[in-house]
Amino acid sequence: MTAAKEPSFRDSVDLMFNRAVALMDLEPGLEEKIRVCNATYTVRFGVRLRGQIHTFTGYRSVHSEHMEPVKGGIRFAMGVNQDEVEALAALMTYKCALVEAPFGGSKGGLRIDPRQWDEHELERITRRFAYELIKRDLINPSQNVPAPDMGTSEREMAWIADQYKRMNTTDINARACVTGKPINAGGIQGRTEATGRGVQYALQEFFRHPEDVKLANLSGKLDGKRVVIQGLGNVGYHAAKFLSEEDGCIITAIVEHDGALINEKGLNIEEVRNWIGKHAGVKGFPDAEYVPEGAKVLEKECDILIPAAMEGVTNITNAANINASLIIEAANGPVTAGADQILREKGCVIIPDMFANAGGVTVSYFEWVKNLSHIRFGRMGRRQEESRHQLVVDELERLSGDKNLGWTLSPDFKQRYLRGAGELELVRSGLDDTMRAAYQSMRDVWHGRDEVTDLRTAAYLVSIGKVAASYRALGL
Ligand code: NAD
């Protein structure tokens, strides 16, 4: 996908990092300490399947341990390699710092095409990979906590959690060894949707600032904005669903691995998702024009482009043709350093990955805290909150009756006001707060320093500043 002259993913991340640190006044040596990846473990292991031994290659990279545990997803894909996991681990460090999740950065991957294996085979492979990482403390509640990424979901996280528990039978915090688990295996409400939900909150916050919207040559609110999205997996599906169903965005194109769908009137996300579920691709979906060469559709004119599939899809070969005013990087590294420059020169505003897709790690942080505290959020306070609200409603109704004021509370208001916050409401509230605060911190730098002309540099400046402060506090 990436053109020959393009730097590797890892180099691309470093180039963006270097652009930001050139504007900072870091002491000699600290800059390099933050940039480099601390360690990358490569494992090759065999599993007997279908009558023969198959050897798999996996990685777990730890970028920075200025805070522990370190955190980052595990990816199952054929393209997984050391350069990629190191780039993704570095992005995790900056992402966690930006959204104030108290973790260092890590990432893992297994070179496998999950579609080639049955569920029980995948379970054996996943458990074996987890075993290799657990015995080296590369999965551990206090040292290294994975989560889902491309090609993995709550199913794999449940297998990993169970594998850890089997190997650490007396660890009372065993469930905190991995996040993104199903609810019945120690997960948290709202984790599956979290990254897509975070993309929605990020866009909502961006559109709260008319000056920022104007810089992207747009105006008004999210309602009616034409969106092209690439990848209808976990992140892309949830982002597209919430933006179209709740914010009035029109999804004019969906780019998937086997081609793209176009419908200027807007695609129904649930219907496309169901179609993909049944047909393993978008081809043949009624009610849309099908374009076999999906990548070309990234160049389609739109207000907002959401790459939500993989890295490097907008690179020096196609950046000049991109016709979007605003790009929000739901995937990690979808815009290469070279493309970033071309797009900036064109006046395109890019909401960077380390912020845009931080919803996942934010809610993973809540899940980890839930696992360590062994209690669901809202369990102690919800009913107490409801009874206090009931007191207010009763008093208002009494006053209205006593004084013959003639007004009543609307049933809708009463119902909404009386309901105490459960876990899902609290998770969404915490996520929204996190995305707003992180955006503000980037925005202050973006608008506050003349030499900072883009949100990515602003994001790097904020996060590198925080990581540097942690290292200084450690006496480095
Ligand atoms: P996923 O595996 O659930 O979905 C990926 C989707 O992209 C699939 O529908 C796949 O068919 C599609 N796809 C693959 N190759 C494609 C191509 N060449 N063109 C178009 N579509 C293609 O993965 P995900 O978890 O949604 O992750 C997507 C991106 O978001 C990755 O970059 C990942 O690192 C990032 N991310 C994920 C999370 C998370 O919580 N899952 C969190 C942060 C960042």
CB of 378 within 6 A of ligand 1: the answer is no
Compute the distance from residue 331 Cα to the ligand 1 centre, in Å: 7
Pick from 344, 356, 275, 343: which is nearest to 314 by CA?
Answer: 343
- Residue 307 Cβ < 6 Å to ligand 1: no
**pLDDT recorded at residue 476:** 75
| Residue whose CB lies within 8 A of the most ligand 1 atoms, among 195, 351, 431, for a mutation test | 195
Q: What is the mean pLDDT of residues 365-385?
A: 97
Q: What pLDDT, in 10s, does the model give residues 330-339?
A: 999 999 999 9
Model confidence band, residue 400 (pLDDT cutoffs 50, 70, 90): confident
Q: How far is residue 133 CA from its own chain's centroid?
A: 23
Ligand 1 contact via 309 beta carbon (within 6 Å): yes
- The structure tokens listed for 77 are 């894909």
- Sequence-ordered strand ranges (E) for 65-202: 70-77, 104-111, 144-148
Tell whether ligand 1 has an atom less than 6 A from the beta carbon of residue 294: yes
Ligand 1 pocket member 98 (CB < 6 A): no
Question: CB-based contacts of 351: which residues, under 8 Å, 6+ apart?
Answer: 202, 203, 206, 326, 327, 328, 329, 455
Task: Specify the pLDDT at position 406.
Answer: 78
| Confidence category of residue 458, pLDDT binned at 50, 70, 90 | very high
Q: Is the CB of 255 under 6 A from ligand 1?
A: yes
* Nearest CA owner, ligand 1 atom 12: 231
Q: Average the pLDDT over 259-277 and give the result.
A: 98
Query: Which of 61, 149, 311 to mutate for ligand 1's pocket (most ligand atoms within 8 Å of CB)?
Result: 149
Answer whether residue 322 shows pLDDT above 70: yes
Return the closest-CA partner of residue 347 out of 456, 217, 202, 228.
Answer: 217
Q: Which of 71, 95, 107, 181 is catalytic?
A: 107
Q: What is the pLDDT of residue 405?
A: 76
pLDDT of residue 474: 86
**What's the pLDDT at 39?**
98
402 pLDDT above the threshold of 90: no
| pLDDT score recorded for residue 2 | 46
Per the prediction, the chain carries an average pLDDT of: 96
The DSSP annotation for 336-394 comes to -HHHHHHHHHTT-EEE-HHHHTTHHHHHHHHHHHHHHHTS-TTTTTHHHHHHHHHHHHH
Say how many Å lie between the CA of residue 358 and the centre of ligand 1: 14
Instruction: Give the pLDDT mean for 270-287.
Output: 97
Q: State the pTM of this model.
A: 0.96
* pLDDT score for 401: 83
- Tell whether the model's pLDDT for residue 5 goes beyond 90: no
265 annotated active-site: no
In this predicted structure, the answer to whether residue 171 has a pLDDT above a threshold of 90 is: yes
Q: Per-residue pLDDT tens for 129-162?
A: 999 999 999 999 999 999 999 999 999 999 999 9
For atom 39 of ligand 1, the residue with the nearest CA is 149
58 lines ligand 1 (CB under 6 A): no
Distance 305 CA to ligand 1 centre (A): 15
Q: 88-92, 210-214, 472-476: which range is least confident on average?
A: 472-476
Please give the pLDDT value at position 4.
54
Report which of 110, 313, 286 is spatially closest to residue 231, judged by C-alpha positions.
Answer: 313
**Which of 96, 98, 150, 200 gets mutated to test ligand 1 (max ligand atoms within 8 A of its CB)?**
150
Q: Which residue owns the Cα nearest ligand 1 atom 16?
A: 257
Distance 345 CA to ligand 1 centre (A): 28
Cβ 150 under 6 angstroms from ligand 1: yes
Q: What percent of the chain has pLDDT over 90?
A: 95
Element holding 158 (H helix, E strand): helix 154-167
331 lines ligand 1 (CB under 6 A): yes
Distance between start and end Cα atoms, the chain: 40
Query: Atom 11 of ligand 1 has which residue's CA nearest to it?
Result: 257
102-107 mean pLDDT: 98
The confidence score (pLDDT) of residue 3 equals: 45
| Each residue's pLDDT tens digit, 411-440 | 999 999 999 999 999 999 999 999 999 999
Q: What would the pLDDT profile of 9-52 be if each residue is shown by its tens digit? A: 999 999 999 999 999 999 889 999 999 999 999 999 999 999 99
Mean pLDDT of 241-256: 98
